[in-house]
Amino acid sequence: SVQGRQALSNKDSGNRVVDAIYRPEVSAGILSPQDIAALVTPLHAVVVTKEMPVTAETIDALPDSVKLIVEAGTGFNNIDLDAASSKNIKVCNVPAYSTDAVASLVMTFVLSLSCSMQTTQRRWQSGDTDSWKGLGTLPHFELAGKTIGLVGGRGAIGSRVADLARAFGMHVLISSRSSAPCGKEGVEVVNLDDLLARSDFVSVHCPSNAETRGLIGAPQFARMKTTAYLINTARGNILDESALADALKNKSIAGAGLDVMVVEPLPASSPLFQCDNVLLTPHIGWKRAETRQRLLAGVAENIDAFFKGSPKNVVN
C-alpha cells in the first residue's frame, strides 16, 4: 500500500529507520531467537511481525533502538508482552481489520456443512452419482430455526457472525466472561455448557490465552449434539485437536470447519486429514484482498502514530 511504503521508509528525528525485511526462514521456524534478533540493527526503531513467535529471548536480544513491535494482525499471543514491557518496548496490534472477512468464512463453513457440499462433490468426483437420486443420510437442511453458539461471541467478529446468522433466521447463543445481556434481538447469553448442549453449530471466537488454551476438548465435545458442527476461526490451541479428531471419527459430533490449527501448516501426519467430515482451510480468514490492504494501512497508521508521539492500539 502507499501508506505502508511511506511508513516503512519513514525516519524520525533520531534517524531511526524502519525497513521491510522478508525472510522465509523466519516464518518456517528455522531461525533461532538470536538469528531473528540479528536481522534488526541499531538503526531500527520498529519491528513488524505476523504471527511469528517473539519470545522473551528474542526480545532480550533486540538492540536498544527498538521501541515498538507492531503485530500485523489482531491476535498478539505470539509476543511476550512482559518481556517487551520490561525493555520499555511498546507492542501494538491492528484490531478489527478482518471482522467481515472472518465472519464471512464462518458462515461459509456453516452453509457448506449444512448441505454436505464437500462430501457430495468428493463422492461425485470418485464416480458415485447416487447423490443425483437422493442424499440418503447425508445432512442437508435449512438454517432458519437452527441455533449457532458463539464461544466468546461479544467481540467484533462474534457480533458480526451473530448479525449474519440472524439474517438466515438462526437463533444465536453467546458465552463469555460477562453474563450481562448483549442487547441484540434473538441473541441469548448462556454459560458454555448450555451453549454446547443446545447449539447446532458451535463457533469459537475467543482469544488465545492462559484461560482459553485447551478450552474445547473431549468433555466439551461429549456435551454437543451428535448432529452439531464445530467451527474454529480463532486460534488453533483453543481446541484439543486430538480429541476433535476422535470426536469426528467416532461421529460423536457431525463435523467441523477449521481455518486455524495448533501447528500451521497442519502436519501431514495429523489425524484430521483422515476424517471425511471436516473442512480444512489454510488460515485464509484474514487474507481477502480488501482485508490485506486494510491490514497494511493499519500497520502504517500504527507506525505513523508512534513516530508522532501518540502510539495507538497499544496492548502492553
Catalytic positions are 235, 264, 283
**What's the DSSP call for residue 216?**
B
Instruction: Report the alpha-carbon angle 302-99-289, nearest 5.
Output: 75
Inter-residue long-range contacts of 57-60, CB under 8 Å, 24+ positions, other chains counted: 57/33, 58/33, 58/34, 59/83, 59/84, 59/87, 59/89, 60/87
Distance of alpha carbon 156 from alpha carbon 153, whole angstroms: 8
Cell of 51: 504471527
Strands 46-49 and 278-280: unpaired
Distance of alpha carbon 205 from alpha carbon 210, whole angstroms: 15
Cell of 38: 540479528
Strands 147-151 and 201-204: parallel
Instruction: Report the alpha-carbon angle 227-228-231, nearest 5.
Output: 150
